[in-house]
Chains A and B, each alone.
Chain A
Amino acid sequence: MKIECEKWKDQLLEAALTGTTAKDLEEHLQSCAKCSAELDEVRARAARLDALLPLVAQGAEPSADFRARVLAAVTAKEGKRGRPWRAWTLAGATVVVVTLLVVGVTWLRRNEPAIPAGEVAAAQKLAEWRAPSDGLLRTPGQEILKGMPRLGQSYLHVPVKTDEEE
């Protein structure tokens, strides 16, 4: 392409892509063989490009068992999601059983038959009873030691008569 034809480059691309030629370009093409040839070349290139472009996305197909594999993956994932549901159910059942046990035991305790008052009083008396010798057994020497003279004290106290009395 001549240097003076460079300005037509963009219009040539547009013409090849849209299939329409602008009036000023058409006039130029009548007098410029190089640009006419260039337009033919760009059009051929555009046709090649249009044939190739779809292959960028449509050059391959999903495998024949794609749908089956997706559904199998869905089932596997759902199975995994199902397990926590079973665990929660088990945990809930355990809580219910334990609660029932606690309530039952409490109810049974509340409804036990009361002990008659007479029996309670007798048991109380029996618990408080002490044998008469218990006090002595606890402190056997205390009473005796109370009456014992200490060191230096006379054991017998003999009253002495003074001279005046005599």
Chain B
Amino acid sequence: MTGTCVSVLISKAEAPETEARFSERIAENQRRVFQIAYSVLGNSADAEDVAQEAFLRAYQKFASLREAEKFRWWINRIVFRLALNRRRGHGRRLARDSAWQMTETPAMVDGAKYAEQQVLLDRLRREIERLPEKLRSVLQLSLVEEMEAADVGAVLGLPAGTVRSRMHTARKLLLEVMK
């Protein structure tokens, strides 16, 4: 039996264990990965497509991404790039989620308040789109749950201090225009 056949048989025997580990990684990361895509794309359908594509690519490299931390950094980076590519590819055709597609929060229970918030959110998204690319990227990633300045810096190749400084500038610009 050739070496190739042996390695194929070994990989087949390990497949269930690999899938179980990979399933764990999805559970740990899916929320954040989806949110990164959603912050860039603004709609759930595209965000899920991109998040799924990122996980498929991660599976192909799973042998070198066994460590949870390594996996986390790698998938953060890849999903952000995939989301940017999709946004560039779709341009203005990219739809934003309408109000009923959003997750209901306690603040949204009141219809009038929810509608007002929705209007403000749409405006805020438009203003974020107008920010310079380097500020926008930092802002979009910083808004995701569990994304600390170091995590954002790892995705963008920036020191954590630069991330904080750009985040502050972005917030200041938004504060000025969101009157």
Contacts and interface: CB of A to CB of B under 8 A. Distances in A.
A67 B168 CA distance: 35
Contacts of A74: 19, 22, 55-56, 59
A59 B38 CA distance: 8
Contact of A17 (B48, B144, B175): B175
Contact of B172 (A14, A60, A66, A85): A14
B65 interface: no
B interface secondary structure, majority: helix
Nearest to B143: A57
B59 A60 contact: no
A67 B176 CA distance: 41
Interface residues of A, number: 33
Interface of A: 13-14, 16-17, 42, 45-46, 48-49, 51-63, 66-67, 69-71, 73-75, 77-78, 85
Interface residues of B, number: 48
B26 A56 contact: no
B143 A56 contact: yes
Query: Top 9 A-B pairs ranked by shortest CB distance?
Result: A57-B39, A62-B34, A57-B143, A60-B44, A57-B144, A57-B35, A70-B55, A67-B26, A74-B59
B94 interface: no
Given A56-B140, A66-B34, A67-B27, A13 B48 contact: no
Interface in B1-48: 8, 15, 19, 22-23, 26-27, 30-31, 34-36, 38-39, 42, 44, 47-48
